[in-house]
Structure 1
């Protein structure tokens, strides 16, 4: 039995990226911008806070994205996909919700998927997350790939 009050509450909307997990990905990708961060937990020297509204910013270069996991997650995933169409590489840490519209429209068949073995512990949590995670990698799309799509 799962606790829907915890799993779907606004208290769990933000999940601080585990530092070791980020470090491993950063050694592979060398991130330039954290597109949705809080001042106290940003992972890159360039970062967008909620006040800056990362969805309204232009994402360039190599971006790290651990978005809020609430109702707006689809907007973040769409922005990541669209940013790859415009030349950015975006690596996102997402809940593995393979049944959602956003997963099928912007991840499946459009990005590299790396399913995380086990459950992550976010931030200062003592317990693992109640959901599986996936790392989604949107790479820049070439002109010929755009035309074929």
Structure 2
């Protein structure tokens, strides 16, 4: 009896990983069989068998790539998914030997893409001005330069409610939020005892994970108390929090024309994330600001006004008329 070659075993293991990933997302065994052109019994065996749990990376590739594991994870979290692009970045920025085979990097990247945990939002790694995970991503300074008043002067915020740092102090020079006060992670902006101020104008770039809906609910409450919040959020229009805290309460939205390339704590700009962003105004002043910058020279994106200054929706205005 002949044994399958190592290359064949690796391909089978890689297929098993991909089948399990898609199956977790809800693709049926029949759908998997049709997609990959294989028998349903083969699909069932790969989903249940030890090959599905086998590592895609051969033993020889692990010692070469092991020192670069965190760098690979950071690149994947920043939206760099192409193995070729990952290899170029590792060589240019992280000291990967140029002689490292492309297949070695490809197998290592595919293994990480097949793992569920590193890329889940619940890990705390996200795009924003603070983070609870391994990577912090900050809004680039030119983004704030586009936010100006009627006279062209930059907008200053009273509070940044999701800032990096400790005890309200931000020391990283790459944080460019123009705010007078910073609520850092240790101060917990979601704690009811942590005040966002009275009728203050806040900047909010919250964690893009499980905490995001809690931040948007707090923004709604702050606006209801007379304050205002300008938020940079992911454009996830198919989620409950979007409809319950943006469409139901925000005054205006700008759908950005391009994806924001955030910068990390060392000042290096990341790749374009895998999803677009929106600016959301909770309050009439910020709604007017968004309309001005969307239609003016900055042309940030497409402006949609959801409510008037009194908080009425367009439908309510039409009914009143």
Do structure 1's residue 21 and structure 2's residue 134 form an aligned pair?
no
Residues of 1 paired with 2:229 and 2:210: CA distance?
Answer: 20
1:120 to 238, 243, 260: 260
2:195 to 53, 58, 74: 58
Kept after mapping to 2: 8 A contact 1:34/1:42:
no
Paired residue secondary structure (1:137): strand
User: Per-residue deviation at 1:42?
Assistant: 6.2
Structure 2 stretches of 5 or more lacking a match?
Answer: 1-80, 82-112, 132-136, 150-154, 165-169, 285-306, 317-321
Kept after mapping to 1: 8 A contact 2:157/2:180:
no
Q: 1:120 to 1:65 in 2, by over 3 A?
A: same
Kept after mapping to 1: 8 A contact 2:140/2:176:
no
Do structure 1's residue 48 and structure 2's residue 170 form an aligned pair?
no
Q: 1:1-149 alignment to 2 at 5 Å? A: 5-6=118-119, 8=121, 9-12=123-126, 14=131, 15-25=137-147, 27-28=148-149, 29-38=155-164, 39=170, 40=172, 41=175, 43=177, 44-56=179-191, 57-60=194-197, 61-111=200-250, 112-123=252-263, 124-139=268-283, 145=311
User: Per-residue deviation at 1:108?
Assistant: 0.7
Q: Name the TM-score, length of structure 1 as normaliser.
A: 0.83
User: Per-residue deviation at 1:138?
Assistant: 0.2
Instruction: Write 1 or 2 for the structure with the bigger share of helix.
Output: 2
Q: Which moved more, 1:28-37 or 1:84-93?
A: 28-37
RMSD of the alignment, in Å? 2.6
Match of 2:295 in 1: none
Residues of 1 paired with 2:245 and 2:125: CA distance?
Answer: 26
- 1:41-61 CA-partner distances (Å, limit 9, x unpaired): 362130100011112222231
User: Per-residue deviation at 1:32?
Assistant: 1.2
Paired residue secondary structure (2:238): coil
Residues of 1 paired with 2:235 and 2:124: CA distance?
Answer: 19
Moved over 6 A (4+): none
Q: 1:145 to 1:21 in 2, by over 3 A?
A: closer
Structure 1 stretches of 5 or more lacking a match?
Answer: none
- Rg larger in 1 or in 2? 2
Residues of 2 paired with 1:7 and 1:131: CA distance?
Answer: 14
Q: 1:42 to 1:120 in 2, by over 3 A?
A: closer
Question: How many residues align structurally?
Answer: 144
Kept after mapping to 2: 8 A contact 1:37/1:50:
yes
Q: Name the TM-score, length of structure 2 as normaliser.
A: 0.41
Residues of 2 paired with 1:126 and 1:46: CA distance?
Answer: 26
